[in-house]
Structure 1
Amino acid sequence: MNAAGERETVALPAWRRAVLKVGSSLLAADGGGLSPRFALGLAQFVSSNLAAGREVVIVSSGAVAAGRAIVPKAAEAGAAMAARQALAALGQAQLIGLWQRFFERPVAQVLLTHDDLRNRRRYLNARATLNELLALGALPVVNENDTVSVDELKLGDNDNLAAIVAALIDADVLFIATDIDGLYDADPRAHPGARLMPEVAELTPAVLAMAGGSGSAAGTGGMRTKLEAAAKAGAAGIDTVLFNGRRAEVLRQLLQGRLEGTRIRAAHSRIAARKYWLRHAPLEPGAIVVDAGAAGALTGKGASLLPGGVLGAEGDFRRGDMVEVVQRDGDGERRIARGISQYSAVDVRRIARRHSRDIESILGYNYGGNVIHRDDLVLL
């Protein structure tokens, strides 16, 4: 608090695209099921930002809590994995229905597993789907696909999932709405004098030690998992914002660009972190060969690589692999860039020198008009 006894606020990072993670503690009703009590305020926060031209993806817990209300006798603590997965399946429709009631635009259900995000080709498909949903004006609501997950429902899975989704869609900021005010220098439940930390410049071991264990009975995560998520987001150059989603005043301040909570800063800028990864990620054997016109567009105009400027492909790389881009002409060849190919080597050879609009007629499918999107490319 400041000298006047008011809670200190800090500025939010500038953002155009964000992920908002909402925990079960903000959605679970007393006695089971879902409640709109706190979800309404969060939905108004989202709606105001959408109206301002920003983009938001929600990562929402609450499916298991919703399922407990449908089949309360199956909800004993420590239920078998299959029972919890069944509850998640029963509750997921209720969860999406809760969010849809707050928005006039369509709400899209996106269920992911960690396997989807570890497999590079599935990762690219998930990113393409989310980006297309945002382009269509829909509101994606993401949850872990607990029903088919082979791992146990881990503590804080959706905190970490939210961080991965933030990196997946190149978000500017990760908002984590919880039922406490932010990160304290000690457990406020045990230490009444604990101080709220408005800003964290670096997630040191000392800062991580401030986090306690699991939070409320309705959720599966605690402050520790939120800091782990912030570390993941920070590695991608994304700031994390922790705030109390139960307090209307906090949400009003967020809309004014001020945070009463905790802002955890990323160690590097988002662009720097992504470019570093693109520059240093392992290369697959092979290359995409381009003509002088395509090379000039890449190096001089910051353009994406289109099939019309491609001469061919070397090697046997797959969609989603990191490959080099080589310019070849009468003067020889030179390496000009590296990037993530949207198409396999076989497909690149088939669409080389053709127009983007012809891709589907040639291949029978398409992953977009770019062989390598400019966001997935770094010049050498």
Structure 2
Amino acid sequence: MRFVIKVGTSLIAPGGRIDTVLMRALVDQLDLERHEYLIVSSGAIASGMSKLAFSAKPKSVRLMQACAAVGQSLLMYTYEQLFFGKKVVAQLLLSSDDFTSALRYENLQHALHELLKLGVVPIVNENDSVSVRELVGAFGDNDELSALLATAVKADWLVLLTNVDGFYDSAGRGQKLVRTVRRLTPKMEALCGEKSELGTGGMRSKLRAAMMASENGVQVAIANGTAPQAIRNAIERKIGTYFPATKPAPKKRAKAAD
């Protein structure tokens, strides 16, 4: 099976510092011998903030670009260490143009196909250091990117990992976790809280991304990445909030194809 795993800033760099212990725990959950994985990794800006000694997220787009450029190298160094002796990793920095231009989209699909055929784990992030539109919200954080990526590679699953258990049906006391979502309504979007302090997305962007992917044949889960075996439980036991695919997934290209 083919999985896209999106890891949010709240997990990767809480407080602006990379949490290698939690990231290792997530990587250790991947069945790398049996399945194919693509990781959409947030956290570049937050990681760069720590290295550049910023105590709060910059408001200037130029400073956010600088933080992203510094933080991205820290992230990839961390992933190289985590996958050492297990899999080769590759870095892909994407922008919305890679999905709106037909030629660039086709080239992206070819590159991803070859990487997966070679057994490589692509580590994907927005190109925040040069693409300003992503920093000002054109992409909706990495949530929308992960949905577009899952569609592009015809993934079986998209798992959106965050620091909450999933989507709740109300705010405050008495709230209940919504186990399955088949349709996104304005009322559901209105229940979404604010985005995280260091991230640029939020539950609203996760719901929209989940529906986008499910409408393109991908099963989706929003799950708490701090929980033990979060990825396996989200897929096998539907722990979190589950979005069933609303149409059959398109057939994948054969692994041996050129």
Aligned counterpart in structure 1 of residue 130 of structure 2, from 134, 142, 148: 148
**5+ long unaligned stretches in structure 2:** none
Aligned residue pairs, count: 250
Q: Deviations over 1:338-360 (max 9, x none)?
A: xxxxxxxxxxxxxxxxxxxxxxx
Question: Map of 1:48-127 to 2, 5 A cutoff?
Answer: 49-51=31-33, 53-73=34-54, 76-103=56-83, 104=85, 105-127=87-109
- For residues 141-169 of structure 1, what are the alpha-carbon distances to aligned partners after superposition, in whole Å with 9 as ceiling and x for unaligned? 00001111031514532000000000111
What secondary structure is seen at the aligned counterpart in 2 of 1:186? coil
Q: Secondary structure at the match of 1:197?
A: coil
Where do 1:261-276 residues align within 5 Å? 261-271=240-250
Cα distance in 2 for partners of 1:164, 1:57 equals 12
Larger radius of gyration: 1
Matching residue of 2:7: 22
Please report the TM-score for the alignment, with normalisation by the length of structure 2.
Answer: 0.90
What secondary structure, in the 3-state scheme, does the structure 2 residue paired with 1:219 have?
coil
Higher normalized contact order (CA 8 Å, seq sep 6+, divided by chain length): 2
Large movers: runs of 4+ above 6 Å: none
- Supply the AA of the counterpart residue of 2:128: D
Aligned pairs for 1:367-378 within 5 A: none
Q: 2:95·2:134 contact (CA, 8 Å) conserved in 1?
A: no
2:167 and 2:69 map into 1 onto residues whose CA distance is 33
Choose the corresponding residue for 2:153, options 169, 172, 175.
169
1:246 equivalenced with 2:226 (yes/no)? yes
Spell out, residue by residue over 1:126-185, the C-alpha distance to the aligned partner (whole angstroms, 9 max, x if none). 111111111111110000011110315145320000000001111111100000000110
Deviations 1:209-230 (A, max 9, x none): 332231x212111100001101
SS at match of 1:174: strand
2:29–2:229 contact (8 Å) kept in structure 1: no
Instruction: Please give the TM-score of this superposition, normalised by the length of structure 1.
Output: 0.62
- Pair 1:41-2:25 in alignment: yes
Q: Give the alignment partner of residue 199 of structure 1, picking from 176, 180, 183.
A: 180
How far did residue 27 of structure 1 move? Answer: 0.9
The amino acid that maps onto 2:202 is G
Distance 1:182 1:76, change over 3 A: closer
Matches within 5 A, 1:333-348: none
Find the residue that maps to 2:37 and give its secondary structure. Answer: strand
Residues 49, 57 of structure 2: 8 Å contact kept: no
The separation in 2 between residues aligned to 1:169 and 1:269, in whole angstroms, is 14
Change in CA separation of 1:126 and 1:226 when aligned onto 2, cut-off 3 Å: same
For 2:98 and 2:231, locate their aligned partners in 1 and report how far apart those are by CA, in whole Å: 32
Q: SS at the partner of 1:101? A: helix
1:95-128: CA deviation from partner (whole Å, max 9, x where unpaired)? 0111221212111001110011111111111111
Match of 1:209 among 190, 196, 211: 190
SS at match of 1:208: helix
1:313 is matched with none
Distance 1:210 1:24, change over 3 A: same
Higher strand share: 1
Aligned residue for 1:176, secondary structure, equals strand
Code of the residue aligned with 1:94 in structure 2: it is L
Unpaired segments of 5 or more residues in structure 1? 1-15, 275-302, 304-367, 370-380
Change (3 A) 1:270 1:56: same
Q: CA deviation at 1:252?
A: 5.3
Counterpart-to-counterpart distance in 2, 1:262 and 1:236: 18
